[in-house]
Structure 1
Amino acid sequence: MLRGITIEELLKKSSVVILIGGKSSRMGYKDKYNLKIGQKRFIDYIIEELNCFDYIVISANKNQDLANLNNKVIIDEIDEIGPIGGIYTAMNNIDSEILFLCTCDVPNISREIVYKLYNNFDFEYDCIIPRINGRVHPLLGVYQTRIKDIVKENIKNSDYKIRNLLDRVNTKYIDFDKKYDEVFSNINTIEEFEEYCKYKRTKKTLL
């Protein structure tokens, strides 16, 4: 619950962290952030939709081609441990106390989702995480950097599952109606990407 602070003020206190460092093995090891729909890449759609924030950072691994990224890039300090490595590195290198976290494979991300999550923000909670149809989406949510030591401890214990991290901290889950299912859809495979392209072309034709 917001008390004495507006959503706009919270957004100014926050930084966006877009995770692009996954292996993308199911996508033929192509960087998913670079996939294009028409003339725009996934990362372009996401950044455009999240421009309600003042500060957007890209979290990547050291082996990626990062030449065509205009935002600040931070490189994972610990390799090969998945998204938790990106989260920890971001918390170590960003001054903001609040991070809005998302991955690069959700090109349908909506600013409406951001506002719904921040409308439910409460400083009492460490994380604000969306849930739809009973499924939790831990890589599209709000994280407070004060949990950095717990993240570090989980990494030290080789516990890299984000769900386990959320179980250890004070997490608030926000339920979304199934009409938002498309917004939360991840594009993980070549087949899913081809279907998505076909869907976008059909939708454009219908419009």
Structure 2
Amino acid sequence: MRVDYSPESMDRRSFYHLLTAVVVPRPIAWVSTLSADGRTANLAPHSFFTVASTDPPIVQFTSVGRKDSLHNVEATGEFVVNLASEPLLAEINATATDFPRDEGEFDAVGITREPSLKVRPPRVADSPVAIECVLHATLGLGDSTVVFGRVVHVVVDEDTLTDGRPDIGLLRPLARLGGNEWSTIGDVRELARERYKERD
């Protein structure tokens, strides 16, 4: 037996919890931005995140509501996606707090920053990957805004590379599940795609 759910018969928050419990696991964009005056460095996790295009390279994250990350990206046109890795779970969760806009999460949580190469927002020094982006476009959808960033630079910690490629076991990315649940990478299975002409 299946259970039916309809957004028309449920309140918005309950349906949101349903969607985020079944659209899993979700990679996390740990987004760093700068305020318009350049004084405050914001850092916040966004679990609606993926690659949007490969040529040109574009990544996207969604701001549910008008959060500081969105305000800053609209004002400055730049942001950095820092990989949310397992050793940084406590810090990532701490930056999800609704700090006042003029209080930067780097300083409030005690996260070490480093300069980016192509954009002004800083990178998280302890994150194994940073994707530097300039704003490509935004798209408003209901109560949310999808932010598209053109990738202008990527930096990867050499300790997470195997044969010159990022190693998932060394990156140790986190993902969001439903409620307050998080997941680690768990078992990794490798299976090559079949070509149509090679099928039986």
> Same fold by TM-score, threshold 0.5 exceeded?
no
TM-score by length of 1: 0.24
Judging by fraction of residues, say which structure has more strand: 2
TM-score by length of 2: 0.25
